[in-house]
Amino acid sequence: MNSANKDLAIMVIFLLKIGFTEILQYFKIHSVGRDQLQLVRRNTCITWILIDKILNLFCIDWRTWNHVTAVKNQGECDSCYAFAAVGAIESQYRRRSGKMLDLSVQQVIDCSGKYGNDGCEGGLMHNAYKYIQDAGGIIQEHDYPYEAKIQECRKKRSNPFQVRVRKHVMMPQGDENALADAVATIGPVSVAFDASTRGFMMYGGGSMYRFY
């Protein structure tokens, strides 16, 4: 067995012995650099390719691991920023606790105005995260249901159950490699982009690849 085949056999045994979560944790702990790990988009997934092994490891679709909640309807409220922010938190909570929860988008709409958001007139995800960090957490959807309109903030620190956010980070704007790295090693993230272009106006279905 030559060196390349030996490396491949060892890696296959390694994959068989440990689970998917442990592999993600391995790469997170050991901080695999971009010179060692290249992330390449294929279809709707992320494929990991170890450059030094030339070895395909995974095609990651977090939906297949039940790390993404169901599609939700924002109605006539421009609350996409709140849905995006909350959706990423739901996925991270699922990764860490093993439980999938629907968290309150309405709480973000009603309560994050002082952080720069504007209720049903739009906002930004990082403003939502700042609010949730300072507020001590976000509560569940059934305790603070969605109404598709801004209301008075009804969240209290005494709410019995809250999912807390300790920190958040901003990805470099326009860096698709950094985004792919985050999605593959951390999980679903929230993304903002300009949907006013002709490409979006003419969109009819499938994956977007031309923005003009």
Q: Which residue has the higher pLDDT, 57 or 164?
A: 164
Spatial separation of the C-alpha atoms in residues 111 and 84, rounded to whole Å: 16
Q: Given the structure tokens 């923005």, which residue do they identify?
A: 211
Q: Give SS3 for 113.
A: helix
Burial environment of residue 74 by CB neighbours within 10 A (0 to 12, 13 to 18, 19 or more): middle
- What stretches of the chain show up as alpha helix (H) in DSSP? 3-17, 20-30, 80-97, 105-111, 125-135, 176-185, 198-201
Q: Given the structure tokens 């294929």, which residue do they identify?
A: 42
Spatial separation of the C-alpha atoms in residues 101 and 178, rounded to whole Å: 27
Mean of pLDDT values over 176-195: 84
pTM above 0.85, yes or no: no
Residue 204 has pLDDT above 90, yes or no: no
Q: Which amino acid would we find at residue 96? A: R
Strand order in the sheet with 45-50: 37-42, 45-50, 55-60
Residue 84 has pLDDT above 90, yes or no: yes
Q: Which of 43-47, 142-146, 149-153, 178-182 shows the lowest mean pLDDT across its residues?
A: 43-47
| 8-state DSSP, 181 | H
Tens-place pLDDT, residues 132-166? 999 999 999 999 999 999 999 988 766 777 899 99
Q: pLDDT band for position 65 (50/70/90)?
A: confident
Task: Specify the pLDDT at position 78.
Answer: 93
For 163, the token pair is 């999912």
Nearest to 45 by CA among 57, 33, 55, 37: 57
Spatial separation of the C-alpha atoms in residues 12 and 75, rounded to whole Å: 47
**What's the maximum distance between 2 C-alpha atoms anywhere in the chain?**
69
Task: Specify the pLDDT at position 173.
Answer: 86
Q: pLDDT band for position 60 (50/70/90)?
A: confident
Q: pLDDT band for position 10 (50/70/90)?
A: very low
Q: pLDDT band for position 64 (50/70/90)?
A: confident
Question: Helix axis angle, 20-30 relative to 176-185, nearest 10°?
Answer: 130
